[in-house]
Structure 1
Amino acid sequence: MLNKTNWEKEIIDNAKSYQKENEEMIQRLVQKLRTISLFGTYIKKENIALAMENFTVEENEYNIFITGQACFDTDEGEDFIDNCIFGISKMGLINWTDDFGDIELEYIDDIVVLEL
């Protein structure tokens, strides 16, 4: 096996440390989501306001899934769905904060706000 120089080892150690911190941050978010009963958000790209309640929170390697009752408010009016799935991507999520009753999801290139 090749000997790694100190800087190569440092890069690998930093990457492992970042991955562990990121996984812990995501688990704190999942636990927070499991403690709330209602949230709302605005999907700018689609011009949709969404509110969800009575939901469950599950996850896989790449996403957090919130499944429950939803109310959509669009240009065409309101619509209700019993088993709506709202997905939160873990990829690119660099931080989240619980700020004044809102959860802000900070991505590399965007911020998503879940209003509680």
Structure 2
Amino acid sequence: MKNLKGLLDKLKELGQTEEGITIYNVDTEVFIQLQNFNVEETENNIYLTGQAFYGDENLNDIGIECIPIENYTLTLNKIGLVGWHKENCGELHLEYVDRIIILECDDEVLWREEDMGEAI
């Protein structure tokens, strides 16, 4: 995939923000917010490890917003990842052959001034 280093650099930068990233699965209505995470790359995967908060509709029904999880690891598969791009609404889109994964994050961090000329 073209510009994998740019994606890894942006994930590392987002991992150091207070807000971190949030992933929402539309099919299962589950969200995971990951904060203060580290990024590790292997041949086939990108691992994001840090403090997570898990939430879903069932928890909301009983009055619980989310459950904290220490040392949570989110695995992003590099196989099938064909590209990535930034959206103006604070979203980082990971484009796979068969799906798109959207990471919500701080819009200001996503669009830092030094990134504006970056070809993605």
Query: TM-score range, shorter-chain basis?
Result: 0.7 to 0.9
Q: Using structure 1 for the length normalisation, give the TM-score.
A: 0.75
Superposition CA RMSD, Å = 1.2
How many residue pairs align between the two structures? Answer: 94
Corresponding residue for residue 91 of structure 1: 79
Contact 1:26 1:90 in 2 (8 A): no
1:80 to 68, 88, 102: 68
Specify which structure has the bigger relative contact order, considering alpha-carbon pairs within 8 angstroms and separated by 6 or more residues: 2
**How far off its partner does 1:45 sit?**
4.2
Can you give the 5+ residue segments of structure 2 that lack an aligned partner in the other structure? 60-65, 106-120
Matching of residue 32 in structure 1 with residue 32 in structure 2 = no
Corresponding residue for residue 53 of structure 2: 71
* Counterpart residue identity of residue 48, structure 2: I
* Counterpart residue identity of residue 25, structure 2: I
Corresponding residue for residue 113 of structure 1: 102
* Counterpart residue identity of residue 32, structure 2: L
Contact 1:95 1:105 in 2 (8 A): yes
* Counterpart residue identity of residue 86, structure 2: D
Identity of aligned residues (%): 32
| Structure 1 outlier segments of 4+, above 4 Å | none
For 1:27, what is the secondary structure of its paired residue? helix
**How far off its partner does 1:99 sit?**
1.4
C-alpha distance in structure 2 between counterparts of 1:111 and 1:39, whole Å: 16
1:59 to 41, 59, 68: 41
Can you give the 5+ residue segments of structure 1 that lack an aligned partner in the other structure? 1-21
* Counterpart residue identity of residue 73, structure 2: I
Higher share of residues assigned helix:
1
